[in-house]
Amino acid sequence: MKYVLVPGAGGVAWYWNRVVPLLKSAGHKAIAVDLPGDDESAGPREYADIVASAAAGADDVVLVAQSMGGFTAPLICERITVRELVLVNAMIPLPGESAGQWWGHVDSATAQREAADIGGYGEFDTATYFLHDLPDDVAAEGEPHQRAEADIGFTQTCDFTAWPSIPIRVLAGADDRFFPVDFQRRVARERLSIEPDVLPGGHLLALANPAGVATYLLA
């Protein structure tokens, strides 16, 4: 099996660094693909070309996409043969939708606000919404790897025909504050008719719970 792991906004492959060794130790090939998230000339279509090139020659690909990587995933599936698709705390687009449009179409702001009111963790900031459940050393290690997503990542439309007729799993973090779990359940049901699986951990699930994510991927 070859696991091809796609990061979210910013395109930083480092996000998967705690999961890749676990997949390899189980006897599988695994590659996290670094994407030019801060390049204004590259959006989901170009990301899909890069990932397809990285996966070239394999016919047993399990494609795993985190967060904004959900906008690249269906495009990749039209370029290469994918055995299974796993979406992790992912944005789930409709054909022709852009990531910038997605927020309003699924009303993510309301879901975030309502979850914050219930959880009592207040207004948005990076530490509160992304780093709250990470070990301190992991959060510190990740700082130099971060980069912003260029505008094209949000404006370029995701021009795919339909979600592929292959096994698709959706994995949600029970403690995700950016995409609250009930919100993810609704979007997955509405757009894929899939009930998400849930693991302990927040939005950066592969950093917060790498063993859980690896075990889930290997199941």
- What pLDDT shows up at residue 136? 96
- What pLDDT shows up at residue 209? 98
Q: Which two tokens stand for residue 192?
A: 């894929």
Cβ-defined contacts of 139-146 (< 8 Å, 24+)? 142/14, 142/15, 142/207, 145/12, 145/14, 146/10, 146/12
Distance CA 217, CA 200 (A): 15
Alpha helices in the chain (DSSP H): 20-25, 44-54, 73-77, 99-106, 108-119, 126-130, 136-142, 152-155, 181-192, 205-208, 210-218
Query: In terms of Cα–Cα distance, which of 21, 15, 59 is closest to 33?
Result: 15
Give tens-digit pLDDT for 97-154.
Answer: 999 999 999 999 999 999 999 999 988 999 999 999 999 999 999 999 999 999 999 9
- What pLDDT shows up at residue 170? 98
Q: Which two tokens stand for residue 34?
A: 């670094």
Residue type, 153: G
Give tens-digit pLDDT for 119-135.
Answer: 999 889 999 999 999 99
Do the beta carbons of residue 59 and residue 67 sit within 8 Å? no
- What pLDDT shows up at residue 58? 84
Domains of the chain, first to last: 2-218 (3.40.50.1820)
Query: Whose structure tokens read 């997955």?
Result: 188
Distance CA 32, CA 179 (A): 22
Residue type, 62: V
pLDDT in tens, the chain (219 residues): 899 999 999 999 999 999 999 999 999 999 999 999 999 999 999 999 999 999 988 889 999 999 999 999 999 999 999 999 999 999 999 999 999 999 999 999 999 999 999 999 988 999 999 999 999 999 999 999 999 999 999 999 999 999 999 999 999 999 999 999 999 999 999 999 999 999 999 999 999 999 999 999 999
Do the beta carbons of residue 161 and residue 78 sit within 8 Å? yes
Distance CA 60, CA 172 (A): 24
